[in-house]
Amino acid sequence: MDMDTLITKQKHLWNDEFWENPWDQGSLAVIGLFITMTLFLILFATIFGVCSPLERRNQYEES
């Protein structure tokens, strides 16, 4: 058995073990949700930070 075959077989076994463990799947889902929520909040803050309310704009123009 050559080294490449052994490494490929070991990676395949580890990959199968990872997806069979529900705790690993759950942690991957939580990490994905955290990243998605963080990006959403950054987008939300950027949009509403740039688009200030109309009343405020009028106040700045009058003074």
Residue 8: burial class (beta carbons within 10 Å; 0-12, 13-18, 19+): exposed
What end-to-end distance do the CA atoms of the chain give, in Å?
82
Dihedral sign from CA coordinates of 50, 55, 57, 63: negative
Quick check: 25 and 19 in contact, CB under 8 A?
yes
> Is it the case that residue 25 has pLDDT exceeding 90?
no
Angle between helices 22-50 and 3-20 (to 10 degrees): 70
Global pTM value? 0.54
pLDDT digits (tens, 9 = 90+) for 7-18: 566 666 666 676
The CA-based diameter of the chain, rounded to the nearest angstrom, is 82
pLDDT digits (tens, 9 = 90+) for 26-36: 888 999 999 99
